[in-house]
Amino acid sequence: NVTKKYVEMNKEELEKELVKLKAEYKKYQEMELSLNMARGKPCREQLDLSMGMMDTLSSDADLSCEDGTDCRNYGVLTGIREAKVLIGAMMENKPENIIIYGNSSLNVMYDTVSRAYTHGVMGNTPWCKLDKVKFLCPVPGYDRHFAITEYFGIEMIPVQMTPTGPDMDEVERLVASDESIKGIWCVPKYSNPQGYSYSDETVRRFARLRPAARDFRIFWDNAYGIHHLYDDDQDYLIEILEECKKAGSPDLVYKFSSTSKITFPGSGIAAIATSLNNLEEIKTQLGYQTIGHDKVNQLRHVRFFGDLDGMKEHMRKHAAIIRPKFETVLNALERDLKPCGIGSWTNPKGGYFISFDAPEGCAKAIVDRAKKAGVTMTGAGATYPYGKDPHDSNIRIAPTFPSVADLKLAMDIFTVCVRLVAVDKMLKEMN
């Protein structure tokens, strides 16, 4: 094992290290493995936790909701009341401020951008009729957010993330000075990919933004609101709708969430929480889009959880399954990379990811090496708009899907790849 940091090694020592790492790498390659740390998917045991939800509705169940609505039939455009109460409690918003959608919050975000694009926001020019529309993108961030704005031809401007949220000096400066900036993507709690949570000050500064564009909106994707890893060490955020109201800008934010990583991803329920003005506009569009979303699924979720306490209890079970996986990843990084002084990484208290920063210029080569040894990672660059990480450094690690045993092996291979690429690069730079 390495006892010396790579930067302290001379050429000869590095060459010896490279030979050793190449041999280790070859050994793994010969195992012909197929391991995956690419996407933030719950594992089978996590999905099993929600099987009880299927039992809540049997063929002799009464599918009427509290107000008597028969959930088997058309109607109730914005979602059944009890689902709004449950999801409202989860999102920390009043049921009145909520629309329950279908099975995907990403879909709601897409619709929200799409509506602004074709019809504009509250009487402002539709974005499609403007020469230039821009979005701020805290980086590293979530690739599917960036994909939506890229699809609409919206120019994405990266803003650096910090452990307390995006660089707010930069955000304030940019939105105040450029009317073509219409939005910002945010994952305020246990962010994808770092697992950072915004500080109170960051949330307040968001609420107090004074954008040049009247149709600027904050896209607040609260995907990991109750996804804590620990019982006794959790992040809390002040509530953005409330802060915006206090700051005199109640319409500034769209907040999104879903039960994707609570029950079944792709078969959960999604929601938006926003001001009554924004809701009115959204409802108009919704009325053309659908006669109503899946109320049976809404009812299923309500009957399964009962209330927020039921959800929290359920999330503890998720945490018990995935906590050892996060620990496996972190232990491997500490054990294999810390002694060499290579790379840095986050240590989140919740969410679905660990963010790893390789030495500059190494990420693509590392992901490539890992792939050739049977370990699939999220593509290097994916955490940046247009897939372009200017430092070629960031790699997102998704620990939840593989078993702990697979994860251990995958991380052994990953850290060999990191060291191999780093040493290789150092040696090339010496020559």
Q: Which residues bind ligand PMP (CB under 6 A)?
A: 40, 104-106, 142, 187, 192, 221, 223, 258, 260, 265, 270
* Distance, CA of 272 to CA of 282 (rounded, Å): 10
> Which is nearer to ligand PMP, 75 or 163 (by Cβ)?
163
Q: Shortest approach of ligand PMP to residue 179 CB, angstroms?
A: 28
Q: Shortest approach of ligand PMP to residue 254 CB, angstroms?
A: 13
Q: Shortest approach of ligand PMP to residue 265 CB, angstroms?
A: 5
> Which is nearer to ligand PMP, 318 or 419 (by Cβ)?
318
E-assigned strands of 132-262? 134-139, 155-162, 165-166, 181-186, 217-221, 253-258
> Which is nearer to ligand PMP, 142 or 206 (by Cβ)?
142
Q: Shortest approach of ligand PMP to residue 132 CB, angstroms?
A: 26
Q: Shortest approach of ligand PMP to residue 399 CB, angstroms?
A: 13
Q: What is the DSSP letter of 362?
A: -
> Judging by beta carbons within 10 Å of its beta carbon (0-12, 13-18, 19+), is residue 404 exposed, middle or buried?
middle
E-assigned strands of 107-148? 134-139
Q: Estimate to the nearest angstrom the gap between the alpha carbon of 165 and the chain centroid.
A: 14
Pairing of strands 217-221, 253-258: parallel
| Region of 351 on the Ramachandran plot (φ > 0 left; ψ -120 to 50 alpha; else beta) | left
* Distance, CA of 157 to CA of 388 (rounded, Å): 12
Closest to 274 (Cα-Cα) out of 99, 84, 76: 99
Q: Shortest approach of ligand PMP to residue 105 CB, angstroms?
A: 3
Q: H-helix or E-strand containing 364?
A: helix 363-372
> Which is nearer to ligand PMP, 221 or 336 (by Cβ)?
221
Q: Shortest approach of ligand PMP to residue 141 CB, angstroms?
A: 8
Hey, what amino acid is at 277? N
> Which is nearer to ligand PMP, 88 or 250 (by Cβ)?
88
CB 418 within 8 A of CB 30: no
> Which is nearer to ligand PMP, 100 or 223 (by Cβ)?
223
Q: Estimate to the nearest angstrom the gap between the alpha carbon of 388 and the chain centroid.
A: 18
